[in-house]
Structure 1
Amino acid sequence: MWGFQRVSGLLAAALRSQRVPRARITSKPPEEPVSATEQAIALSVMFSCLLIPSAWVLANLEHYKSRRE
């Protein structure tokens, strides 16, 4: 029982000491607005980075299933 109390005390001390101070971040409106063209380019790049690799895996799924042994 004494060992359990000692370990729990050490764990509590370790958890207490890991407190991180809050960052003082303030947000402001953008200096210049983002145009519709820039938004369209950003969205297309993000979606293509997500969809092209997953489409590649789905297209080659049978190849990945067959293992050479």
Structure 2
Amino acid sequence: MSGVLRGVLAARSLLRAPAMSQRAGLTTKPAKEPVGAAETAISMTVFMIAILGPSGWVLANLESYKERK
């Protein structure tokens, strides 16, 4: 019985895909061009509007959303 079990386990290990190592594309070099203060302010403003805009709209119109028609 143990020989059959060993054979089954050996066959299963052969069918399994080989383990793949995943590597992230991380770099430790500094940026090629420094990011200026204006670019930083513009990008943060765009992200703030994109994230907080829809939720602010819903909260501002909450009473109209509560009404059942």
TM-score scaled to structure 2, two decimals? 0.63
Unpaired runs of 5+ residues, structure 2, are 1-12
SS in 1 for 2:38: helix
Q: Kindly indicate whether residue 45 of structure 2 is the aligned counterpart of residue 64 of structure 1.
A: no
Measured on the aligned residues, the alpha-carbon RMSD in Å equals: 2.2
SS in 2 for 1:67: coil
Q: Distance in 2 between matches of 1:20 and 1:65?
A: 52
Larger radius of gyration: 2
Unpaired runs of 5+ residues, structure 1, are 1-12
Taking a change above 3 Å as real, the CA distance of residues 21 and 64 of structure 1, as seen in their structure-2 partners, is same
TM-score scaled to structure 1, two decimals? 0.63
